[in-house]
Amino acid sequence: MVAQTIPVDDFDLVIIGGTGDLAKRKILPSLYRRVCAGQMPENARIIAAARSDFSQQDYKDFIRQALEDFVKSKKRNKKKIETFLERLTYIKLDATGIEGWKELSQSLRAGAVHAFYFSVGPSLFAPLAERLMKHKITDENTRIVVEKPFGRDLASAQSLNAVLARCFREDQIFRIDHYLGKETVQNLMALRFANALFEPLWNSQHIDHVQITVSESLGVEGRGAYYDKSGAMRDMMQNHLMQLFCLTAMEPPAVFDAASVRDEKLKVIKALDPILEGDMVRGQYRSDENGDSYQNESGNPASTTESYIALKANLSNWRWVGTPFYLRTGKKLRNRMSEIAIVFKDPPHSIFEDSQDLKGNVLTIRLQPDEGINLSMTIKEPGPGGMRLTEVPLDMSFADALGEDEADMPDAYERLIMDVIRGNQTLFMRGDEVEAAWAWVDPIIKAWEKSGAKPAQYDPGSNGPDDSLMLLHKDGRRWREIT
Ligand code: NAP
């Protein structure tokens, strides 16, 4: 199947933080792939800005190397790389000083969409918005893209929203959560709302519970100092897992547009019950055979920051009351794996002798690795000798279904950056949504900070702390394997 590519309007995209890790690993490789896909208009330009000294040629060489490092070899084409590099300009600019702003202002073309990607540390988001205004670089068609983390609690998110609102209309602000750009996550919406099969079953009458897992096999690596101030709750749960949860639990929007989808997601967050003390487990990985514990890697030997969190979330609304959502995320676990598993109820009565093997169906939406959708079914074991039952998967791996090239699915950032240029906010978070998520998470964080409780220890390469098994065990359920 050949992907359809609709070219976007002419644009000037300014990446502030153009020398940083995200720009190098994700943003610029994604833009290169969009050039290859024929989606970028011929005149579209990318202006990278940061404080480092780079000549135009040095910056192009720097990005040529980044493409070498972060674009798969079969997607690298010398001629296309040079075409891409021709669109690049570097400006030395200080987000908090005076250097570079005049040059930036002069470099923007009238008539093109102007988008500013804030790919800098979060302390610079507000100053950048204010500088853009002060230097009169923006107009009513300007868009800004704000990276995560959007605040570290409700108060800081509100204060950042307030600064942005003084400078821009809400429809100019694109708060990015790259999970929403993942093909499978969008497929979750297609699966639910473009098929009549599942929606009648998508409620507490038929669904026993839902498990959402985002598991990483790596530790904090070089991000230890940053991560230690954040932890799994702020770094993953409040944003990525919460977004997956909202898309799974929300009502069908009346239309597929930004306002309707975001209204429905907000209603989900607002229907969340407060978390009870026994419905949450915090963990921290202990030393592996090399002596690399979380505390060593974070550079804080007394750290009580969690590298793992699991919780049971309940929704008080008609659709979901009585069906818990178990969410977990952590570092240095058994495998790198992200999935949403919808566990259906067992059949109410078995007519088969083999009934102890009768299991509820599980619909799994796999985000990584091997993006795809799987439905486990119980069938008759083939062959004579009675009616023995067995479980088999109905598997739709995107790689198999859509052909080899399609399996090389666009990175989330490709889709999201093109949506920014189109002005489509459906896959971005609205200000009130982010605040509602913090309003739910804040009391949980405050309660454990007040208690001074230490996180439970777990072995690197395990499924997380033993206490997390109990979280489901006491409800007569068990976590799915992290495979
Ligand atoms: P990074 O590697 O530290 O890069 C920061 C960038 O900001 C550099 O280009 C730096 O360049 C520039 N910068 C710093 N101070 C500046 C100033 N005063 N004026 C202008 N530019 C300035 O950080 P990153 O990993 O790319 O992350 C960028 C943002 O994306 C952060 O908010 C992060 O939380 C978020 N994010 C990153 C990732 C990731 O995978 N890296 C993933 C999700 C979200 P100079 O030093 O040359 O000025």
CA of 148 to the centre of ligand 1 (A): 11
- Note the pLDDT tens digit of each residue in 21-58: 999 999 999 999 999 999 999 999 999 999 999 999 99
Instruction: Look at residue 140 in the predicted model and tell me its pLDDT.
Output: 87
| Cα 92 → chain centroid | 30
Write the CB contacts of 12 (distance below 8 Å, at least 6 apart in sequence): 44, 45, 46, 47, 107, 108, 109, 112, 113, 114, 115
CB of 76 sitting under 6 A from ligand 1: no
Name the token pair of 473: 């065990």
Q: What is the 3-state secondary structure (H, E, C) of the chain?
A: CCCCCCCCCCEEEEEECCCCHHHHHHHHHHHHHHHHCCCCCCCCEEEEEECCCCCHHHHHHHHHHHHHHHCCHHHCCHHHHHHHHHCEEEEECCCCCCCCHHHHHHHCCCCCEEEEEECCCHHHHHHHHHHHHHCCCCCCCCEEEECCCCCCCHHHHHHHHHHHHHHCCHHHEEECCHHHHCHHHHHHHHHHHCCCCCHHHCCCCCEEEEEEEEECCCCCHHHHHHHHCCHHHHHHHHHHHHHHHHHHHCCCCCCCCHHHHHHHHHHHHHCECCCCHHHEEEEEECCCCCCCCHHHHHCCCCCCCCCEEEEEECECCCCCCCCCEEEEEECCECCCEEEEEEEECCCCCCCCCCHHHCCCCEEEEEEECCCEEEEEEEEECCCCCCCCEEEEEEEEEHHHHHCHHHHCCCCHHHHHHHHHHHCCCCCCECHHHHHHHHHHHHHHHHHHHHHCCCCEEECCCECCCHHHHHHHHCCCCCCCCCC
Instruction: Look at residue 246 in the predicted model and tell me its pLDDT.
Output: 98
CB of 141 sitting under 6 A from ligand 1: no
CA of 298 to the centre of ligand 1 (A): 19
Instruction: Look at residue 3 in the predicted model and tell me its pLDDT.
Output: 65
Distances (CA, A) of 295 to 152, 330, 445: 21, 15, 20
Query: Would you call 209 a catalytic residue per the annotation?
Result: no
- Note the pLDDT tens digit of each residue in 171-226: 999 999 999 999 889 989 999 999 999 999 999 999 999 999 999 999 998 889 99
Tell me which CATH homologous superfamily contains domain 180-410+430-473. Answer: Dihydrodipicolinate Reductase; domain 2 (3.30.360.10)
pLDDT tens, residue order, the chain (483 aa): 556 778 899 999 999 999 999 999 999 999 999 999 999 999 999 999 999 999 999 999 999 999 999 999 988 999 999 999 999 999 999 999 999 999 999 999 999 999 999 999 999 999 999 999 999 999 888 999 999 999 999 999 999 999 999 999 999 999 999 999 998 899 899 999 999 999 999 999 999 999 999 999 999 988 899 999 999 999 999 999 999 999 999 999 999 999 999 999 999 999 999 998 899 999 999 998 888 899 999 999 999 999 999 999 999 999 999 999 999 999 999 999 999 999 999 888 888 876 666 677 999 999 988 888 999 988 888 888 778 888 888 887 766 666 655 546 788 999 999 999 999 999 999 999 999 999 999 999 999 999 889 999 999 999 999 999 999 999 999 999 998
CA of 126 to the centre of ligand 1 (A): 14
Instruction: Look at residue 358 in the predicted model and tell me its pLDDT.
Output: 67
Instruction: Look at residue 372 in the predicted model and tell me its pLDDT.
Output: 87
Instruction: Look at residue 392 in the predicted model and tell me its pLDDT.
Output: 87
Cβ-contact 17, 118 below 8 angstroms:
yes
CB of 122 sitting under 6 A from ligand 1: yes
Question: Nearest-CA neighbor of 376 among 242, 252, 481, 245?
Answer: 481
Amino acid at 73: S
Question: Nearest-CA neighbor of 357 among 374, 343, 336, 378?
Answer: 378
Name the token pair of 346: 């067992």
CB of 240 sitting under 6 A from ligand 1: no
Residue extents of the structural domains in the chain:
11-147, 180-410+430-473
CATH assignment, 11-147: 3.40.50.720
**Atom 14, ligand 1: which residue's CA is nearest?**
120
Instruction: Look at residue 177 in the predicted model and tell me its pLDDT.
Output: 96
Instruction: Look at residue 109 in the predicted model and tell me its pLDDT.
Output: 95
Q: Which residues of 42-69 are buried (b: 16+ CB within 10 A; e: fewer)?
A: eebbbbbbbeeebeeeebbebbbebbee
Which is catalytic among the residues 114, 178, 209, 240? 240
Instruction: Look at residue 401 in the predicted model and tell me its pLDDT.
Output: 64
CA of 103 to the centre of ligand 1 (A): 21
Write the CB contacts of 226 (distance below 8 Å, at least 6 apart in sequence): none
CA of 50 to the centre of ligand 1 (A): 9
Instruction: Look at residue 394 in the predicted model and tell me its pLDDT.
Output: 86
Residue among 21, 104, 234 to mutate when testing ligand 1 (max atoms within 8 A of CB): 21
